[in-house]
Amino acid sequence: MTLSDPGNKIEGAFADLEAGIIKDESDPSRFQGTSMSLTRNEYSVRRATLADSVMLESIEREAFPGMTPTTRISRDLTRQNGLYLAAVREWHPDDRQLGPRFAIATRAEKEDDRFTARLKRKVDRYLLDYVNRPKLPPDYIAGFAGLWFVVDEAHVIIIGLREVERGKGIGELLLVSGIEQAVENDSRVITLEVRQSNDVAIELYRKYGFQEVGLRRRYYSDNDEAAVIMTTPPVRSDDYQSHFKRLVEQHASKWGWVERPGYDGPEVTPAETDGP
């Protein structure tokens, strides 16, 4: 069974996959006694809640400008068969200086140079924030993924990132976490749609075992581009799990391990010490 939703958007999540990330070698979370030293990534993945909906919607608008209809995130967050995952980190000083409203504005809104737009941004940033004193969300959301579960199938409906967060392995991380949650939910296979022209994303999905099984013509509303339908083999099979675990280890080796639902970190082997 394959689901169709006009809001499916995957193509914005993966860019510059080979870019590096600076890791803090002084981080006390580095581990000894394993086959490789792993640094903890500053990002983690958690389940999104209804309180995150405004920020998720702003990320969607930034990642997929001009796409209609938008995903009904607020509705999906209340669905029993829906799950949204958010890649988060602590707020940085520069993030806080933007102000809570400006921080979640879309890129297009920020670049609008009309006088009225500039005035509105100033009012939002200074006057309204001062009067209302809205609270920032507890953590900064860099990107998110949405899934539906129907019968024995998990369907990835969206993966979206802020533009400044691309090239950090976060899109792949969200895919990894989505696959893990599909397995946890006893899904047999996972499906998704991706733009036919998005070679980078298609290659990543192939890497994780997705295979092209069909084509939806004139699927994307902004330019009538076709969508490639991709599906995994059975994700709970021994062969798939062996392949998947190797890929997760490679991701952790490159980007650092990431705390996420069902995973609190690598097992720690006490380091050998001299003397008794």
Delimit the domains of the chain by residue range. Answer: 44-91+136-255
Separation of alpha carbons 259 and 2, rounded Å: 30
11, 57, 180, 193: the catalytic one is 193
State the pLDDT at residue 73. Answer: 92
CATH number of 44-91+136-255: 3.40.630.30
CA distances from 232 to 93, 193, 226, 262 (A): 41, 12, 20, 21
The 10s digit of each residue's pLDDT in 198-246 is 999 999 999 999 999 999 999 988 889 999 999 999 999 999 999 999 9
CB atoms within 10 A of CB 68: 10
State the pLDDT at residue 172. Answer: 98
Q: What is the largest CA-CA distance in the chain?
A: 73
- In the residue annotation, 205 being an active-site residue is answered as yes
Q: Could you tell me whether strands 189-195 and 140-150 are parallel, antiparallel, or unpaired per DSSP bridges?
A: unpaired
- In the residue annotation, 180 being an active-site residue is answered as no
Residue written as tokens 């199938």? 153
**What global pTM score does this model have?**
0.77
State yes or no: pLDDT of 120 exceeds 80: no
Residues facing 11 on adjacent strands: none
User: End-to-end CA distance of the chain, in Å?
Assistant: 61
43, 84, 205, 240: the catalytic one is 205
